[in-house]
Amino acid sequence: MELEERVILVTGAARRVGRAIALRLARAGCRLAVHYRHSADEAAATAGACSATGGAAAAFPANLEDPAAAAGLVRDVLARFGRLDVLVNNAAVFTGMRLEDFDLAEWERTLRVNLTAPLVLTQAAAAALREVRGRVVNVCDAAAAQAWRTHLAYGVSKAGLEALTRALARALAPEVNVVGVAPGIVDWPEHYDEQERSRLTARIPLRRAGRPADVAEAVHFLLRDGDYITGAILPIDVGRRLA
């Protein structure tokens, strides 16, 4: 795909991995729709940084727990830019949950944001994406291949997102490629102390964590050079799935 002037919606793009993806694609000449829920100032800063590379960018608020708001986000982007070439489903919630402290409301919230919202967004964007032979990139997680007893809802939601990626690749073929990237540790949760970080790093074959920029480069590669790739999940985890 030629990326110059393509319009790309990145959900959860105000901070962390989403921000890195938005900035990398802006440097490639894309126009960015920067989605956020609460982080208005950070989203504005991300959009400003994207615009500083020479391309257009704008921030868009939406609560992805609400399917109507998710569909409305796509409509807002189309109204602002007049087209949509790529949807990057990055927004997610990451809440700890063990079996003994199972909470139905939190379980349902996690699945709404991490799994249902990508489906709703893709369905809302499908006609626009088909028109331009566009792409969908789902940000999955290495957790999908591992049984995390401490994050039941999150792990199940990301495993579901991998399955959804493959299903959407069939549903949107042949016009739209649908792929996923599955990061391991690329941006530490803020509450992890040095001891916890060292413990987790020691279990990774390459003995180091990744960076948000590593995920962004993978997304850039899949968009730029992935014309013959669909239904695939690319691990970006420094070997974590082998641990």
Instruction: Output 160-163 pairs: Cβ under 8 A, ≥24 positions apart.
Output: 160/111, 160/114, 160/115, 161/89, 161/114, 161/115, 161/118, 162/138, 162/233
Residue from 145, 171, 154 nearest 243 by CA: 145
Residue 62, amino acid: A
Tell me if residue 228 is catalytic: no
Q: Which of 25, 2, 65, 5 is nearest to 218 (CA)?
A: 25
Cα–Cα distances (Å) from 206 to 17, 163, 187, 240, in that order, read 21, 27, 16, 8
Which candidate in 36, 154, 192, 228 is catalytic? Answer: 154
Question: How many CA within 13 A on the CB side of residue 18?
Answer: 29
Contacts of residue 88, Cβ cutoff 8 Å, sequence gap at least 6: 8, 9, 10, 11, 13, 18, 21, 136, 137, 139, 219
**Rounded CA gap, 104 and 179, in Å?**
30
Greatest Cα pair distance in the chain:
51
How far apart are the C-alpha atoms of 60 and 36, rounded to whole Å?
6
- What is the C-alpha to C-alpha distance for residues 184 and 204, in angstroms, rounded to an integer? 9
Active site residues: 154
